[in-house]
Structure 1
Amino acid sequence: MSSTSLNPEFSKALDAKVGSARSARMAWERAAEKAVSAGLSEANALRLLALFSSPRHMEHLVQGAARAGSSPDQTLEAFFQRVDELPFSVEDWFAAFEVVLARLIRDSRSVKPEVIAGYLSCCAEFAGNNEAGQSLREIVSEMIERYGFDG
């Protein structure tokens, strides 16, 4: 999926995301290429391009799926099923997922994606009716700072 083999839809989405930033484009292309070669469908690579703010987070999700012994598409499907069970948008879930990933990267740790998804579910359930109107990202940021992440 190098720049010469990117499907037109992915290339167009990539242009919209990074514009003319060549280094960012190359990073996203590499992440997508690794993900697709690991079994992520091009449709899901496109979806992750839209949802993640960093190509590094896409790479970590794919690596985590491999460690868990599942395909990246299976991991995403399980994640989307969990997202559907609680009252936050997919975008909010992925923003919160990135909060946990950033902490793990900072601490040189890695866990299976389903562990992160479980943590996000707990945070969402803990927030209850969320009268303060916080995003899941804000809730997770607060929870991770206050209580940490032991996953």
Structure 2
Amino acid sequence: SAEQAANADAGILFDRIGLLPQRQAKSRRNPMNRPVREIGVRIETGKILRIFSNDLTAPAEEIAALYKRRWAIELFFRWVKQTLKIRHFLGNSENAVRIQVAVALIAYLLLQMAKADQATVTSPLAFARLVRTNLMHRKRIDRLLKTKPQPPGNPRQMSLQW
């Protein structure tokens, strides 16, 4: 049928309605006693993803597309937490989250550009730490690792090496 052909194009392997078991574990009763829908989707990697939903009327392609978009959002926030080092958002509004992500992204890109401009420090983490410790010093990036030369000592004065 035309519906099965559309499902095959979307990667839908199966679409079935059933009931979950009455008990999920030894002492836990199943809170979901209504029919649920299981949709099997083959993703780009070739793996089969099983999606459970309580929406019995929406087309399988629509439910699969919703989960695909949701997964993309999950991956984006995982990247934000790991790469931009945002552990929690300072505000709850959409504008506050957008501004915080934009500022963190700008800082990340500036740091990457500065790291690419130098060859002394190869580790991104070491470079970020170096910039963080010297953030308020007005030094060129290539001179961050160089120590100040010791003033010439008086040959007539005794000096101690620590």
TM surpasses 0.5: no
Whose helix proportion is higher, 1 or 2?
1
- When the two structures are superposed, what TM-score results if normalisation uses the length of structure 2? 0.28
Whose strand proportion is higher, 1 or 2?
2
Bigger CA radius of gyration: 2
Identify which of structures 1 and 2 has the higher relative contact order when contacts are C-alpha pairs closer than 8 Å and 6+ apart.
1
